[in-house]
Chains A and B, each alone.
Chain A
Amino acid sequence: DAGVIQSPRHEVTEMGQEVTLRCKPISGHDYLFWYRQTMMRGLELLIYFNNNVPIDDSGMPEDRFSAKMPNASFSTLKIQPSEPRDSAVYFCASSTAGTGGQPQHFGDGTRLSIL
């Protein structure tokens, strides 16, 4: 079975540029999560969706960050304009539930470097 697929795996761009990260969740999973991982702050939940609808975006750091889920098989996380402090590994995860005992399944992440 295909897992969560993220693209690109690596992205290097200059500050001020727009960055778009992509995620394809596991088929049948109704929940999709976006995380950011840094050495300083560890793993942070940015936003999550249920049935394509954003439920909680309180972890989104600033208005420069936006996320969409136009259909059940695709989500994007966009940063515009990007800044060096946005450099991190961004993970997408999906699950059959948002809470409780169902595990989340993670993609391999996008390593983002903003110069």
Chain B
Amino acid sequence: AQSVTQLDSQVPVFEEAPVELRCNYSSSVSVYLFWYVQYPNQGLQLLLKYLSGSTLVKGINGFEAEFNKSQTSFHLRKPSVHISDTAEYFCAGAGAGNMLTFGGGTRLMVKP
């Protein structure tokens, strides 16, 4: 069965500190991976996606993620967070013939 697991439900971090949000996927989820961000009272917005090619993917707002096939991971990183990055982040994956599967979400809380 397909699955995407976000290992942390909440991540508190101080402003200007680096952050990593963890995501692991089952091998059946296969090759297409996404990170979405949800700000309060809004829908999900695409941050970045991995389809193929370079394993390091850069997205909007200074975020990047690295596809690691051997560890079946797709962790999201930012070197220095801002208060405005406070939001919920969703990892999602899909195979060539499979529907998009979402992880449970990670709430990033940036403290001043």
Contacts and interface: CB of A to CB of B under 8 A. Distances in A.
Contacts of B31: 101
B90 A101 contact: no
Interface string B33-47: 010100001111110
Contact of A99 (B49, B99, B102): B99
Interface residues of B, number: 23
A107 B41 CA distance: 11
Nearest to B32: A101
A101 B51 contact: yes
A33 to B, nearest CB: 8
Given A99-B95, A100-B97, A42 B43 contact: no
Secondary structure class of chain A's binding surface, majority of residues: strand
A104 B102 CA distance: 12
A89 to B, nearest CB: 9
Nearest to A43: B102
Contacts of A105: 46
30 contacts: A4-B43, A42-B102, A42-B104, A42-B105, A43-B102, A56-B99, A91-B44, A99-B96, A99-B98, A99-B99, A100-B32, A100-B94, A100-B95, A100-B98, A101-B51, A103-B34, A103-B46, A103-B49, A104-B44, A105-B46, A106-B43, A106-B44, A106-B45, A107-B43, A108-B42, A108-B43, A109-B41, A109-B42, A109-B43, A111-B41
